[in-house]
């Protein structure tokens, strides 16, 4: 088993879409991160859940929109390669999603990035029992 927190079983990462989870960064800020399928080994990549063009969540809680191996920004339509994070079109052209180091072993994905500490599945605030609204801000 790798040194790192278990995020999800590989079977839980959708073939098209993303697996959303929350981690704490080095400054104790909660940060949304996503896992996506990729054709390159190890078959799963981890990214920060924000478009590089502006602060726009790629996965709003129902999985990131994807097409032909690319993650689509829901605001302007920029498309990021799921394996490299690179964007060559739209408002985010010439940028790359910030990566998150993960390790795939024994059918699971583990957060092995020293800059993050795993907190929980789902987005920021998804574990807050005081909120019953279906609307996120």
Domain membership flag for residue 49: yes
Do you find a cis peptide bond into 42, omega within 30 degrees of 0?
yes
pTM score over 0.75? yes
- Neighbouring CB atoms inside 10 A of 110's CB total 20
Distance in angstroms (rounded) separating the CA atoms of residues 67 and 51: 16
Domain extent, residue 44, equals 5-121
- The per-residue pLDDT string of the chain (137 residues; one tens digit each, 9 = 90 and over) reads 788 999 999 999 999 999 999 999 999 999 999 999 999 999 999 999 999 998 899 999 999 999 999 999 999 999 999 999 999 999 999 999 999 999 999 999 999 999 999 999 999 987 554 444 444 44
Domain membership flag for residue 127: no
Distance in angstroms (rounded) separating the CA atoms of residues 114 and 104: 16
CATH code, domain with 103: 2.102.10.10
Nearest partner of 53 among 85, 75, 82, 25, judged by Cα: 75
- Neighbouring CB atoms inside 10 A of 54's CB total 11
């Amino acid at each position: 088993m790798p040194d790192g927190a278990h995020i999800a079983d590989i079977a839980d990462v959708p073939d098209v879409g993303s697996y959303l989870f929350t981690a704490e960064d080095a400054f104790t800020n909660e940060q949304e991160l996503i896992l996506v399928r990729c054709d390159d080994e190890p078959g799963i990549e981890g990214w920060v859940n924000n478009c590089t063009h502006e602060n726009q969540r790629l996965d709003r809680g129902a999985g990131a929109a994807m097409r032909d191996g690319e993650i689509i920004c829901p605001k302007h339509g920029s498309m990021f390669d799921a394996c490299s994070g690179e964007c060559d079109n739209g408002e985010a052209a010439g940028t790359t999603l910030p990566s998150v180091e993960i390790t795939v072993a024994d059918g699971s994905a583990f957060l092995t990035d020293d800059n993050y500490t795993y907190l929980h599945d789902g987005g920021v605030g998804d574990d807050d029992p005081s909120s019953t609204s279906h609307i996120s801000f």
